[in-house]
Amino acid sequence: MNDIEPYRVHVPQADLDDLADRLGRARWPDELPGVGWDYGIPLERVRELAERWRTTYDWRVHEAALNAYPQFVTEIDGQRIHFLHVPSANPSALPLVLVHGWPGSVLEFLDLIEPLTDDFHLVIPSIPGFGFSGPTHEKGWGLERIARAFAELMSRLGYERFGAHGGDWGSGVARALGGVAPDRVVGVHVNYLPTPGPVDGLSGQDRERAERIAAFAANRPGYQVLQATRPQTIAYALTDSPIGQLAWIAEKFTEWADPASSISDDVLLSDVSIYWFTRTAGSSARLAKESGRGTPCPVPLGVAVLPHDIVQSVRPLAERSFDIRHWTELPRGGHFAALEVPQDLAADIAAFFQLQGAVTSSST
């Protein structure tokens, strides 16, 4: 039960052929003239991406990019856990867990590996229910249970003291790690931290941000409501239709990213492909239903705020709940920080753990 086995990504050719066949037989919806993005991702954009996915996109290239790094699987709490493990050549390096979110995957951290491995032993797991960890098989896989599984993973790797970083759901998992293992987690760094709270006493930028957070919470996006209430229902469409899965994710890569970012269509298609080939649209959506408010995080917290993220954190509100030790307002980037500004993000992660005395020197 404690075995850790080597793993390599290999999608059977039959699955690639099936995808191309389905894309070639797509049934397209109509679209109102001149509505742009007001009604959802435009038909022209999805057609463009689908044609590239079917014809010129090469999954094997991106599969090889993942396989360039050591990957493993193990079973924890009855659930398969897939992860990349990239040790540093530095014997005093700090073990660091990097946790992705939705609609992300381990793929988004590949550009962080080189700038971080001077100072960190990197462990990059696929969240249970996502990607190569495969679907979850029972209820209850919320943030705290995932965090406990990741703490056990670090124990199996021989890492008793470690840090954590995450964005989106990864932020919640990383903070939950600090809550379930406060004696082992030296600090948590996040690039997404919702800070709901009263606007009384706030002014200027802080008040504007708090008001946007309140407006966002009062008008939850449709995708969020569906995934939090009816994940099984949406799973049928996303698991059976590659066009549905493509549109569901591609919309977010546009709306949540900095317009100046250059996330390539091939990176987007690789991320969508991971959800498609692993059939984890439904199980990844279940995380929104399984997770509550989360576990308190008593360990030091570092925050990087991206100007084009879904919402921006409010420091006075964050300080009411967290031990904020480091706060950075990055000049560019959106929700997918590891893909959009990997060098900036890597430098901020290293700077935070330097402040905690967990990293003695950094080349980032």
Q: What is the domain partition of the chain in residue ranges?
A: 4-23+38-355
pTM: 0.96
User: Mean pLDDT for the chain?
Assistant: 95
Reduce the DSSP state of residue 210 to 3 states and report it. Answer: helix
**362 pLDDT band (50/70/90 cuts)?**
very low
Question: For position 363, what pLDDT does the model report?
Answer: 46
Integer Rg of the chain from CA: 20
Q: Are 120 and 94 in contact (CB under 8 A)?
A: yes
- Give the tens place of pLDDT for each residue, 80-103: 999 999 999 998 999 999 999 999
Selected from 3.40.50.1820, 1.10.8.60, 1.10.260.40, 3.40.50.11260, the CATH number assigned to the domain covering 4-23+38-355 reads: 3.40.50.1820
Using alpha carbons, list the distances in angstroms from residue 100 to 47, 73, 80, 93.
28, 17, 17, 22
Question: For position 2, what pLDDT does the model report?
Answer: 77
Higher pLDDT, 91 or 14: 14
Helices 59-67 and 265-278, axial angle in degrees (round to 10): 80
Question: For position 218, what pLDDT does the model report?
Answer: 87
What would the mean pLDDT of 123-144 be, rounded to a whole number? 97
Question: For position 361, what pLDDT does the model report?
Answer: 59
